Amino acid sequence: MGDHHNVNLPPGFRFYPTDEELVVHFLHRKAALLPCHPDVIPDLDLFPYDPWELHGKALGEGNRWYFYSRKIEARVTDNGYWKPLGRDEPVVSAATSDIVGMKKYFVFHVGEVGAATGAAKTNWIMHEFRLCDGASSSTAAARSSKRRGRPKRDYSKWVLCRVYERDEEKEEEDGAELSCLDEVFLTLDDLEEISLPNRIQ
């Protein structure tokens, strides 16, 4: 696609999909090898790149970047790593209340994983979306590959990532709201830090 940070949309239209739209209309179609119109989200191997290097490589809209990536365990770059926060959150269909995918939160830290001096937490946040039923997706991908005469590829391992840098001042000006989970995850490095008051007997 070339320059991914410029989306060819009419004036007034912006790319701000909901979590459900990212999973249902983009990630499910990617996993099933179906065409997506418009085809604006690129494939990108995230982990060689620090988040501030995504401009011009991922699809950018405002201060958010979108891309497909392969699902891997170690999310480490040359200058830091993505640290997972808490448990996965289900992505629920508004129409049927079915779980259509899962969303995981990450925050970028500058420094080495497990370094004695510790790494510096940044304002870079990543939402990683994955399908919750990999079997049906890979079956659909296999059928599609056979119809097209292409070798079988396992597309159930794809994830869709949304990366942004949190700007508290701008959020206050724009009136942007974060979900309750976003607020919890951004204030804690680890859910183990949550302490609940003792119940009064």
Note the pLDDT of residue 9.
Answer: 58
Which one is predicted more confidently, 176 or 51? 51
pLDDT digits (tens, 9 = 90+) for 136-175: 444 444 444 444 555 444 556 889 999 999 886 655 555 4
Domain-wise residue ranges, the chain: 19-137+152-168
Percent of the chain with pLDDT over 70: 63
Note the pLDDT of residue 181.
Answer: 53
Note the pLDDT of residue 193.
Answer: 46
Does domain 19-137+152-168 sit in CATH 2.170.150.80? yes
SS (H, E, C) the chain: CCCCCCCCCCCCCCCCCCHHHHHHHHHHHHHCCCCCCCCCCCECCCCCCCHHHCCCCCEEECCEEEEEEECCCCCECCCEEEEEEEEEEEEECCCCCCEEEEEEEEEEEECCCCCCCCCEEEEEEEEEEECCCHHHHHHHHHHHHHHHCCCCCCHHHEEEEEEEECCHHHHHHHCCCCCHHHHHHHHCCCHHHCCCCCCCC
Note the pTM of the prediction, 2 decimals: 0.70
pLDDT digits (tens, 9 = 90+) for 5-59: 445 556 777 788 999 999 999 999 888 888 777 778 888 876 778 999 998 889 8
Note the pLDDT of residue 60.
Answer: 87
